[in-house]
Amino acid sequence: MASSRTVAMKTRHNDSEMVRQFRIHGRVVEPIKDFLKDEVRALGRELGLPAQLLERYPFPGPGLSI
* Structure confidence by residue, pLDDT tens digits, 12-63: 556 788 888 888 898 887 777 788 888 888 988 999 989 988 888 776 665 5
Whole-structure pTM value: 0.52
Q: Please state the φ and ψ torsions of residue 4, each to the nearest 5 degrees.
A: -65, -30
Separation CA 13–CA 57 (nearest Å): 14
Burial status of residue 49 (CB atoms within 10 A of its CB: 0-12, 13-18, 19 or more): middle
